[in-house]
Structure 1
Amino acid sequence: MESPTDPSRPSGSSSRSSTTLRLLKTPVNSISRASSLTPHPTGGSSVPPRPSTSTSQFSSTSSSRQRRHTSTTSGRKSRSASSIWGSDSHEIICAVSEARGVSPTVGLAFVNITTNEAVLSQICDSQFYVKTCHKIQMYDPSTILIINTACAPNTKSTLLSIIEEELRGTTIEPLDRKYWSENAGLDFIQSLAFREDLEAIKVAIKGNFYATCCFAAAIKYIELSCRVSIVSHSLRVRYQPSEDTMMIDISTIHSLELIQNLQNAKSKDCLFGLLNETLTPMGSRMLRSNILQPSCQVDNPLMLRYDAVDELTVKEDMFFEIRKALKGFVDVEKLLTMLVIVPHQSFIHTAVQTINNILGVKAFITAIPSLYEALGTARTDLLSRIREICRPELTQPVADLIAAAINEDVTAMKSPLDMRNQRTYAVKSGVHGLLDVARQTYKEATEDVHRHLEELSRDHDISPVLKFDSYRQYWIRLRQSDFEDRDVPDILINRVRKNAWIECQTLALVQLNHRITDSHNEAIMLSDKVMQELLDAIRVHVPGLFRACESIALLDMIAAFGQCATTREYVRPEIGNSLALKGARHPICERANPERFVPNDVFANDQHRFQIITGCNMSGKSTYIRMISLLQVMAQIGCFVPAQYAAFPIIQQLFVRMSTDDSIEANMSTFSLEMREMAFILGNINERSLTIIDELGRGTSTRDGLAIALAISEALIQSNSLVWFATHFQQLTKVLGSRPGVLNLHLATETHDVDDGNLKMTMLYKITSGPVQKENYGLNLARAIGFPERFIEVAEDVSMSLAKTIDEKKQSSQSRKLLRRRKLILNLHDTLLQLRESDMDDAALGSYLKRLQDEFVARMDEIERGGQTDREEIIEIPDDEDESSE
């Protein structure tokens, strides 16, 4: 697709510098409201010069009124750290459109200009647009497009308000409604998508009106705002249903450390760092994308990936050959994108980049046959498909095109001088006559440099060393020790002293550098004509190259899973209706302490969906529940898991609440954040969710925290979600223990005295049935870690006093009195029923009833006074009375 050339800037538009769009690091002009768009033969359009300033859609006035941009950077960084493409270095345009209604339908289109991808999606969302915001957060776009009518102050849409609140730091641009056209979107798909994918894409987007309109808007925006063109049938377009992937919100991503360690951003102690054994940038990006959006489709891709990893772990020779072949690939995704994103104006640096791109494609084509051979013994469906896509006959036409124009021995270089020589001599001799002349001039000038150096050495009795860099071109290095007893010759200019060296040039050398640069630039520009013809021929085969690139990325990720499985003893999980783990291990903690980590068992089904985890401090509660969620993510990306046996259900939503940090930027305390996240969870949880809650309610008073934890627990039980709830509130285990589906567990601990009178606590880190039975384990832990004994004694006295007071209050409370009165009356009723059926004579019966009456009145008075008694409120017939009756 071709976009218009930069229209002439009208007079009086100097105030519009703030409206330029930051795409591809290139300043651009505004979009014309009155532009008439004429289709371009290659699928793009051309735009006439922009009319007067008053009609510009992005005028300074409308920009100040409609553009939404905040300067908060902290949220931006956190999102980019958790985005699908890792979008710190990616330019991503997102278009959003909605259908107003009770259950609004939202269309989304993401276009990544950096990697030449487009993702379309249509979501049936709630009134709070949770799924929409989550989807946008995952892709972290640099610009969000929305229909201009939704931005007007009097008709501002709820969706826009929520996006502004949730995605602070992202530029939001209003775009004229006329660009949101389904027909235009279908035309763009027809002209830009791979020919082989057209029919499948058309079937996928059929009926998804809003997603198609968003795609049209995103492409129009790029077309009108960037001085670039997208070549026809070269854009990777795919439709992604929201129900095909697990939803993981940003808070959960950070809490579980899926992508980044919370303490050290550069540390590899996160799930991505653990599994990232990939050898190519494409494989690393695919792994990142899969961790943030695990698949919910069992047969394809999960089972296919399990089979492929299984085969790689069995066939060691094939596995090592694949890993060896993968080392030969660079970032092919970005390389191929550079071939299809074409600038409108050609400069010397673009010509240089074109030659580098051609050589990169050559290296890519050369590396594919070795990967094809490495997959020769593959038998599983997934590996066989990858091998089929990498067949040499599919890439041979591109290899032949390159071989016809490029010298066979030219390869990618790293040193500046080698790179310049490589670019100069990349095209074969005889292809272009003037190019050969420019090369001859370049060669002669280079030889003159070496002759000049020999003359300097002979005439001035020095030992110059010729050096080269991109800034100074050729320069000379001399030892300072050679000039201790004499002056530096005046012929040497631009002298710089660095340690034991003198770096300098001569006037003749500077002139030769200019001569070489001119001949080099001429050779590059003449080579560029040949390269452009070669690129035009290669672009026909770009769809096949992109498919090969995606297959290599997938293979790299699968091989990384195989590397983890073989070196860390992971097992293949099963997919079913229950979650069952035997000997499961926390993948990150295990790597840090492989010898000390204690495996644990996990089981959950419909009868045990809500599990309360109690235990002493530092007993491993948080590690245990984190392990469950991490292993669920690993299983749903197709990776083996650290366990002796593993079975998982398919989870569509993962919620984790365990952070205790406050948010200074949002002016929210720890408890406020906790309640906001729990409100989000309760509003979106269902029976296909997995929820992990750690220490809910500890950010406020004990009474309020317990009440909130109990209320939320009741709601979570009713949701039928799989829930693991770690808490120190012992009352929860008593109140909820009898509820259907609730299971009490605790992490075992041993406490015993040592010889010197001190207390020693041993954490067993083993999950055990029932609630924790130990009392005052917080004080015991404080004593075990060496807290001063005098403080411990005071704390124990206070604890015992509080416990006694609470027990007395329970005994004297009205509810306690009522319970005891009822129990006493019920026992009296039972006793009277027994006496009615007895064979006692009237005298004995009267005597017993008199004693029974006195005992009942005495106990009732004791209850009313609030007194305590060790006797049960049970009235029994004494043995001596039975004997007297006989």
Structure 2
Amino acid sequence: MKKLTPMMEQYFQIKEQYQDALLLFRLGDFYELFFQDAEIASRELEITLTGRDCGFEDRAPMCGVPHHSAEGYIDRLIAKGYKVAICEQVEEASKAVGIVKRDVVRIITPGTLIDTQLLDEKKNNYLMSVYGHKNGLGISYVDISTGELFTTNIINNDWIKDLKDEITKIQPKEVIYYIEDDVTFNDTFLQLCNQFNVVINQQEEWSFEHEYASNILKEHFNVIGLDGLGFEVKDNGIISTGALINYLKETQKRFLGHINKINIYHISETMVLDYSTRANLELTETLRGKTKKGSLLWVLDKTSTAMGGRMLRKSLEAPLLNIEKINERFEAVTILKEDIFLRKELKEHLKNIYDLERLAAKVSYGSANPRDLVALKSSLQRVPLIKELIKDRNILLESIYKRIDPLSDIEELINRGIVDDPPITLKDGGIIKAGYNQEVDKYHKASKEGKEWIAKLEEKEKTKTGIKSLKVGFNKVFGYFIEVTKSYLKQVPENYQRKQTLANCERYITPELKEIESKILGAEEKVVVIEYNLYIELRDIISKEIARIQATASAIAEIDMITSLSEVAAENNYVRPQISKEKIIDIKDGRHPVVEKIFNNQMFISNDVYIDNDCHQISIITGPNMAGKSTFMRQVALIVLMAQVGSYIPATEATIGIVDRIFTRVGASDDLSQGQSTFMVEMSEMANILNCATEKSLLILDEIGRGTSTFDGLSIAWSVIEYISSKIRAKTLFSTHYHELTELKGIIKGVKNYRISVKEDGEDIIFLRKVIEGSGDKSYGIQVARLAGLPQEVINRAKDLLLRLEEKDIARVEGIDIKRAQEEVAVSKEEVNESADSMQLDFNSLYSNNIIEELNNIKLLETTPIEALNILADLQKRVNQLLQGGK
């Protein structure tokens, strides 16, 4: 290796501190990357990999991106999970002694994006911090683009379940963590983050020490104790929040004044929805396309602002449990639903409000440009009008009214100081409005007068020289000049000094033009500097009022969400449900909010449902595939969830008892990354439901036990129903193709049978989509297969086999000769009868356990003898188990 160049020495000194990030090293108008960073960026960004002579025998791999368009490239790297360290010149080149000083000014990670162009405007971008200890978990998360900070403390034995639920709800883009002395938990936690495609950054132990984290919080929030922030002494949330703030300090390298409040919450305060439930109910995105269209959020989101959209999403992710709060929201929605003029006037003002939360964050962060401030001003002009519209309405609207600060002082400051149509950048001036500052006005006048002098000079020189094509021009390289085309060169006066020769013309300068140029450019250079400083000063004044802007932004977001819910209710003929303390769900003419919206050209068949924790606890629903069982069950869950969000619902009337959790086990899927089969996934989800559900929960169970053999699956489904009935007492909708389960009505308390009605028309079936009481006796599988397009030959063969199977057992269909089988196994019918007699079964005592019915249905002499013996042996075993159990 030769001696390194000074620039590369500087590069290596900086890169040594940021080895886990891609270092974008500013050189002139480009960000350059070197060595392995360059190879990664070249591959991920599909840009050319070149080389540079930096003192090595071989040229150093290098690639770069233009400084003015770097955001798009950075966004692509962040989306792929990389950290990006931005290294800028931190001193002016003219003042540098030797090589210009450079340093990293910011580290961008997936969880620390603040550029609104890189973010989903109606979705938060969260960075999460997790601290695990033997006595529980601390979970904190922040959206740096809005300043929202949340934390909770979890103390129980099932950390993984609660953590998974929180990650599912929060959907962080990045997680920092430290888990104390628990290898198993570490491994499980990493698998969980990988499952949700979350970027993980394990931190050093010292950043998760209680004292260090406490000091970080005291310093950031400028307090002497943490009790005022709402923490308890041994709260794990202190550690996770302190580590989170510390990580932001290290990566953002500036004070983040817009993160000025901690929202401490408990997971029991809102309805808990696990991953499977959120996915199966398609709350915010569809299962297949992972798009918003087709989700519940797609139906309910008529918000006019980005803030309102984010609040609505969060409300769907965490429905309310407090009846009083739900009813307050209902009252507000009712007022706006019934007053169409008020609703439309509010929407007219709301649609002109920009994202106040993210604008406030950019002001505090120091990245707000002049156009951001104009957007803030125009938004604040609408705030007093909205405030006046909701005055004296109801409890919730009145509380929102009180939280809205008109912020007229900030609006007036921006209106007085910033021009109405400013440039994006600060370096070209033209930002400060006339009348705001005398010195700026003086230089603007000088510049304007100078340009008038230029115009007069051009006319004077044309007249004096007789050169009609003469003109005075300007560019940034040569300044002002007099341009003369070559056909008039003989008429150029002697006092013209040649400055530049072009193909068709010559450019000149005169002493008078130089003098005017000096005045104009001197004024423009000075005014740019003055305007820049005035703008920074004005922005700093506003940054001190961030808390006020955030409070108003939150209030505006809430009124936007309520307006959206009221508009959806009015457009779709939704009704207000009654929220009850009773443990019932009683819905009349319920409809699926998404399905009816997608198929708006067809009449949606509405259905009733009634379930409680007593005589109507478990509804067993049978019917053919495609008849609508899953749609019906999902619509019940969505209606309950909408009610607890405070939204009107698609029904004619309903009474909803508060549900603490909704669980769903719907559909078949595997998890190959975890080595789990379809049936294992089904059983894992079922285990989670049975272990976590309470009598206040709503269970949506679809086709339990279908992933294994018929008798295994039937046994599991039967046992699950018994367990729910006797142990959990949860309200349950249970769809199945096991028609045998309908016989549980009258045997297990609370079981009711329902079926989806169909109409047969020859070989065709018509799905009536109506849920009626009773049990189905056919599955119509072959008809559905025909509708799906199976070859007719397959359909015909299936019909033939079905007919024969319904008449005889499978062994007889395949032509097995019973006598021959008897001879082969050397078992006689007499031996079978002797074995049956030896069991000495007490049919009367077994009747209550349904074994007598099973025995009556067994035709031993129609089976092979060895099969008969196996059946009897199995029955003997089951009888013994029953007798030992004291049944």
Report Cα offsets for 1:632-673 as digits up to 9, x if no partner: 221111111000111222222222222334445555443343
Task: Select the residue among 134, 143, 164 that pairs with 2:190.
Answer: 164
Tell me whether 1:179 sits opposite 2:207 in the alignment: yes
Report Cα offsets for 1:44-64 as digits up to 9, x if no partner: xxxxxxxxxxxxxxxxxxxxx
Residue pairs, 1:201-220, within 5 angstroms: 202=228, 204-207=230-233, 209-220=235-246
Task: Select the residue among 589, 593, 598 that pairs with 2:599.
Answer: 593
What is the deviation of 1:261?
2.3
Name 1:544's counterpart in structure 2. Answer: 548
Residue pairs, 1:306-345, within 5 angstroms: 306-342=330-366
Name 1:488's counterpart in structure 2. Answer: none
Tell me whether 1:760 sits opposite 2:782 in the alignment: no
**C-alpha contact (below 8 Å) 1:438/1:522 kept by paired residues:** no
- 2-structure distance, mates of 1:587, 1:507: 75
Tell me whether 1:581 sits opposite 2:593 in the alignment: no
Name 1:92's counterpart in structure 2. Answer: 126
Name 1:114's counterpart in structure 2. Answer: 145
**C-alpha contact (below 8 Å) 2:122/2:310 kept by paired residues:** no
Task: Select the residue among 780, 800, 805 that pairs with 1:802.
Answer: 805
Letter in 1 for 2:245: I
- 2-structure distance, mates of 1:771, 1:450: 97
- 2-structure distance, mates of 1:311, 1:163: 46
What is the deviation of 1:815?
11
Report Cα offsets for 1:124-151 as digits up to 9, x if no partner: 333452112221333233432333x73x
Name 1:731's counterpart in structure 2. Answer: 740
Letter in 1 for 2:748: R
Tell me whether 1:250 sits opposite 2:272 in the alignment: no
- 1-structure distance, mates of 2:222, 2:836: 79
Q: Pick closer, same or farther for the CA change 1:818–1:241 going to 2, 3 Å.
A: same
Name 1:644's counterpart in structure 2. Answer: 652
- 2-structure distance, mates of 1:522, 1:761: 84
What is the deviation of 1:549?
0.3
2:255 is paired with a residue whose SS is: strand
Tell me whether 1:396 sits opposite 2:399 in the alignment: no
Moved more, 759-768 or 429-438: 429-438
Residue pairs, 1:622-633, within 5 angstroms: 622-633=630-641
**C-alpha contact (below 8 Å) 1:280/1:553 kept by paired residues:** yes
**C-alpha contact (below 8 Å) 1:93/1:112 kept by paired residues:** yes
Name 1:605's counterpart in structure 2. Answer: 612
Tell me whether 1:385 sits opposite 2:399 in the alignment: yes
- 2-structure distance, mates of 1:274, 1:177: 45
- 2-structure distance, mates of 1:88, 1:581: 32
Letter in 1 for 2:19: S
- 1-structure distance, mates of 2:656, 2:811: 48
Name 2:324's counterpart in structure 1. Answer: 299
- 1-structure distance, mates of 2:390, 2:358: 25
What is the deviation of 1:553?
0.4
**C-alpha contact (below 8 Å) 1:615/1:747 kept by paired residues:** yes
Name 2:852's counterpart in structure 1. Answer: none
**C-alpha contact (below 8 Å) 1:354/1:531 kept by paired residues:** no
Tell me whether 1:720 sits opposite 2:724 in the alignment: no
Task: Give the TM-score, by structure 1 length.
Answer: 0.69
What is the deviation of 1:559?
0.2
Q: Pick closer, same or farther for the CA change 1:114–1:711 going to 2, 3 Å.
A: same
**C-alpha contact (below 8 Å) 1:303/1:638 kept by paired residues:** yes
**C-alpha contact (below 8 Å) 1:280/1:556 kept by paired residues:** yes
1:230 is paired with a residue whose SS is: coil
What is the deviation of 1:354?
3.6
What is the deviation of 1:382?
1.1
What is the deviation of 1:776?
5.4
**C-alpha contact (below 8 Å) 1:93/1:142 kept by paired residues:** yes
What is the deviation of 1:768?
1.0
Residue pairs, 1:484-633, within 5 angstroms: 523-576=527-580, 577-594=583-600, 595-607=602-614, 608-633=616-641
Name 2:752's counterpart in structure 1. Answer: 743
- 1-structure distance, mates of 2:619, 2:625: 18
- 1-structure distance, mates of 2:292, 2:274: 22
- 2-structure distance, mates of 1:106, 1:217: 14
- 2-structure distance, mates of 1:692, 1:711: 16
Q: Pick closer, same or farther for the CA change 1:288–1:517 going to 2, 3 Å.
A: farther
Report Cα offsets for 1:650-698 as digits up to 9, x if no partner: 2222222223344455554433432333333333222232221222333
**C-alpha contact (below 8 Å) 2:370/2:431 kept by paired residues:** no
Q: Pick closer, same or farther for the CA change 1:727–1:116 going to 2, 3 Å.
A: same
**C-alpha contact (below 8 Å) 2:151/2:237 kept by paired residues:** yes
Name 1:31's counterpart in structure 2. Answer: none
1:772 is paired with a residue whose SS is: coil
What is the deviation of 1:574?
1.5
Name 1:225's counterpart in structure 2. Answer: 251
What is the deviation of 1:420?
8.6
1:218 is paired with a residue whose SS is: helix
- 1-structure distance, mates of 2:444, 2:654: 67
2:605 is paired with a residue whose SS is: coil
Residue pairs, 1:427-438, within 5 angstroms: 427-429=433-435, 431=437, 433=439, 436-437=442-443
What is the deviation of 1:625?
0.6
- 2-structure distance, mates of 1:445, 1:683: 81
Task: Select the residue among 705, 713, 727 that pairs with 2:713.
Answer: 705
- 2-structure distance, mates of 1:315, 1:538: 36
Q: Pick closer, same or farther for the CA change 1:766–1:172 going to 2, 3 Å.
A: same
Residue pairs, 1:274-293, within 5 angstroms: 274-293=299-318
Q: Pick closer, same or farther for the CA change 1:412–1:819 going to 2, 3 Å.
A: farther
**C-alpha contact (below 8 Å) 1:579/1:602 kept by paired residues:** yes
Task: Give the TM-score, by structure 2 length.
Answer: 0.69
- 1-structure distance, mates of 2:81, 2:804: 50
Tell me whether 1:19 sits opposite 2:25 in the alignment: no
- 2-structure distance, mates of 1:234, 1:863: 75
Q: Pick closer, same or farther for the CA change 1:815–1:123 going to 2, 3 Å.
A: farther
Residue pairs, 1:264-279, within 5 angstroms: 264-266=289-291, 268-279=293-304
Name 1:374's counterpart in structure 2. Answer: 389
What is the deviation of 1:558?
0.4
1:126 is paired with a residue whose SS is: coil
RMSD over equivalenced CA pairs, Å: 5.0
**C-alpha contact (below 8 Å) 1:619/1:747 kept by paired residues:** yes
1:636 is paired with a residue whose SS is: helix
- 1-structure distance, mates of 2:517, 2:401: 49
Name 1:33's counterpart in structure 2. Answer: none
**C-alpha contact (below 8 Å) 2:177/2:202 kept by paired residues:** yes
- 2-structure distance, mates of 1:452, 1:89: 57
1:643 is paired with a residue whose SS is: coil
Q: Pick closer, same or farther for the CA change 1:780–1:338 going to 2, 3 Å.
A: closer
Tell me whether 1:673 sits opposite 2:684 in the alignment: no
Q: Pick closer, same or farther for the CA change 1:703–1:557 going to 2, 3 Å.
A: same
**C-alpha contact (below 8 Å) 1:363/1:411 kept by paired residues:** no
Structure scoring higher RCO (CA < 8 A, sep ≥ 6) equals 1
Which ranges of structure 2 fall in alignment gaps of 5 or more residues?
A: 1-8, 32-77, 83-108, 114-118, 476-499, 813-817, 819-828, 846-855, 865-887
- 2-structure distance, mates of 1:523, 1:283: 40
What is the deviation of 1:704?
3.3
Name 2:378's counterpart in structure 1. Answer: 363
What is the deviation of 1:328?
1.4
2:764 is paired with a residue whose SS is: strand
- 2-structure distance, mates of 1:642, 1:126: 39
Which ranges of structure 1 fall in alignment gaps of 5 or more residues?
A: 1-7, 28-68, 343-349, 469-490, 495-505, 754-758, 828-859, 869-886
- 1-structure distance, mates of 2:148, 2:587: 38
